Structure 1
Amino acid sequence: MKIGELSKYSQISIRMLRYYEEEGLLYPKRSVSGYRQFEIADIERVKLIQKLNTAGLTLKVIRKVLPCWQYQRKKFSPCKEFKIGLNETLLKLDEKIQLLEQSRSHLMTLLNEKG
């Protein structure tokens, strides 16, 4: 299938699909005339990439995680790379949460000051 069809079936823009390819997340074959040729399995692959990215994983981490996905059985087997990437993401989220809690505390202090 061509990139437009993949975009239609996966509901992911052509621009984003090209970006995923640039980032080493998709490896389409090329036709004789140079058109990208995607497989049916690529529909699930790009949906998975999008879900992982929405969950907070960077594309760099997702690139490491994708080999853990067994497309034939549509089963996820957490591999070492996935666990490392997930731990990195969780640490970054914890840092953001801590900063947000500090900001909230400062704002509450300002709100409660008598002036």
Structure 2
Amino acid sequence: MRIGELAAEAGVSVRSLRYYEEQALLTSERSESGQRLYQPADLQRVRLIQQLYAAGLPSKTLRELMPCIEAPVQRYATQLLERLTEERDRIGAQITQLSHTRDRLDAVINSVDSTEAAPTP
């Protein structure tokens, strides 16, 4: 399948597919005329990459995780679970920090609102 076909099937841009190749997340073969050619299984790989990106994982982490995901489960199951747990915990810490920041902003907003609402002596 050509790059445009894979992009359309996966719902991503051709530019994204080229980026995935640059990041060593996806590989293609080349036709005699130099066009990128992909295997049918690459559609599922691109969808998985999209899911992991949507979960907030950076390219570097995806490169680390892909061999674990693609290898037989018994070989990398522990490593994969540990890495995914680390990423989940990292995201959880970010959520906690963002919640604290939001709460502080709410306090400032409420303080400004109450100041503006108070009558002037």
- Fold match by TM threshold 0.5: yes
Q: Residues 19-34 of structure 1: matches in 2 within 5 Å?
A: 19-34=19-34
Find the partner of 1:108 among 106, 109, 113. Answer: 106
- Matched positions, count: 111
Report deviation, 1:81: 4.0
Structure 1 gap ranges (5+): none
Structure 2 gap ranges (5+): 116-121
Q: Which has the higher helix share?
A: 2
Q: Residues 69-80 of structure 1: matches in 2 within 5 Å?
A: 69-70=69-70, 77=73, 79-80=77-78
Conserved 8 A contact 1:29-1:36? yes
Find the partner of 1:90 among 77, 88, 91. Answer: 88
For normalisation by structure 1, the TM-score amounts to 0.80
Q: Which amino acid aligns with 1:95?
A: A
Conserved 8 A contact 1:64-1:81? no
Report deviation, 1:28: 0.4
For normalisation by structure 2, the TM-score amounts to 0.77
Q: Which residue of 1 aligns with 2:39?
A: 39
Larger Rg: 2
Report deviation, 1:52: 1.2
